[in-house]
């Protein structure tokens, strides 16, 4: 009798695991259908323009993406151009306010962040092939809306929680723990104002919060799909040309 009882307990556990797996697959399928992932996987380039606001200040930015995994962002900050580039392997940064226009190679953490942004398909697509672990943690009420909660553990062990609206299956929030100035801070992103672009659905407004405080907001102005882009955009930024020194006058 004891063995029979153990058998049914094991079978029930197996059925529960299968049910959870099926639920995750169903939620992902609905999400991919909502954003039209099938179209997105065929897109070769994305070029977007937008504005970012922080503490009453606003600046313009442009982002270019090209397969496979190439990314470039330029932003005008206080009259100076900031550049970030990921060429598929290495990431570079130009920050004029540091007093230098020389491109600097970024460290592992920042490179991983740009690599994630360069992934046009998104982190949920082919998550197993990317070495991630994904689980459906359940449902809860989020600001008056029912949401599915997905927990994504990436290959580098970073953990992100993704909140999908239960009606639209679109992401309305992500949350992750990041290191900032030696301390762990919760970084949250709230996505809204979804619009259709080239038969795909994308957020046109994102609010980023650090430790519960609003860090900045991002408003997308335009998105161009499959625009022909120069591959040189994604190469290491060139060092500024040095001005030739003025010839010195010879003494009489």
Whole-prediction pTM: 0.82
List Cβ neighbours of 46 (8 Å cut-off, separation of 6 or more): 63, 64, 65, 120, 223, 224, 225
169 closest CA partner among 22, 25, 24, 35: 35
Determine the Cα angle at 110 with ends 107 and 116, to 5°: 130
DSSP 57-111: EEEEEEEEEETTTEEEEEEEETTEEEEEEE-SS-EEEE-GGGT--S-EE--HHHH
Task: Look at the chain and report how many structural domains it folds into.
Answer: 1
The CATH number that applies at residue 14 is 2.50.20.10
Domain membership flag for residue 44: yes
Domain membership flag for residue 246: no
Residue 32 structural domain: 2-234
Domain membership flag for residue 240: no
Domain membership flag for residue 135: yes
Q: Are 124 and 162 in contact (CB under 8 A)?
A: yes
Domain membership flag for residue 248: no
Q: How far apart are the first and last CA of the chain?
A: 115
| pLDDT per residue as tens, the chain (252 positions) | 545 444 444 444 444 444 445 599 999 999 999 999 999 999 999 999 999 988 778 889 999 999 999 999 999 877 788 999 999 999 999 988 777 888 999 998 889 889 999 999 999 999 999 999 999 999 999 988 899 999 999 998 889 999 999 999 999 999 998 766 677 788 999 999 999 999 999 999 999 998 888 999 999 999 999 999 999 999 999 877 655 555 565 555
Domain membership flag for residue 10: yes
């Amino acid at each position: 009798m004891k063995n029979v009882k153990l058998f049914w307990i094991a079978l029930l556990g197996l059925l529960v695991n299968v049910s959870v797996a099926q639920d995750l697959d169903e939620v992902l399928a609905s999400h991919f259908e909502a954003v039209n992932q099938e179209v997105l996987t065929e897109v070769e380039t994305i070029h977007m323009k937008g504005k970012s606001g922080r503490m009453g200040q606003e600046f313009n930015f442009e982002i270019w993406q090209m397969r496979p995994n190439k990314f470039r962002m330029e932003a005008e900050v206080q009259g100076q151009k900031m550049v970030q580039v990921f060429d598929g392997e290495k990431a570079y940064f130009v920050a004029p306010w540091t007093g230098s226009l020389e491109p600097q190679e970024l460290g592992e953490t920042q490179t991983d962040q740009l690599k994630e942004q360069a992934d046009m398909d998104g982190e949920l697509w082919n998550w197993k092939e990317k070495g991630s672990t994904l689980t459906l943690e359940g449902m809860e009420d989020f600001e008056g809306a029912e949401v599915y909660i997905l927990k994504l553990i990436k290959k580098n062990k970073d953990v992100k929680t993704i909140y999908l609206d239960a009606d639209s299956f679109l992401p309305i929030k992500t949350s992750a723990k990041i290191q900032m100035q030696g301390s762990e801070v919760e970084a949250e992103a709230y996505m809204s104002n979804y619009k259709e672009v080239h038969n795909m659905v994308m957020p046109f407004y994102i609010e980023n919060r650090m430790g519960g405080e609003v860090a900045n907001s991002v408003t997308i102005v335009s998105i161009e799909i499959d625009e022909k882009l120069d591959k040189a955009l994604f190469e290491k930024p060139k060092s500024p040309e040095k001005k030739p020194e003025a010839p010195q006058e010879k003494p009489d």
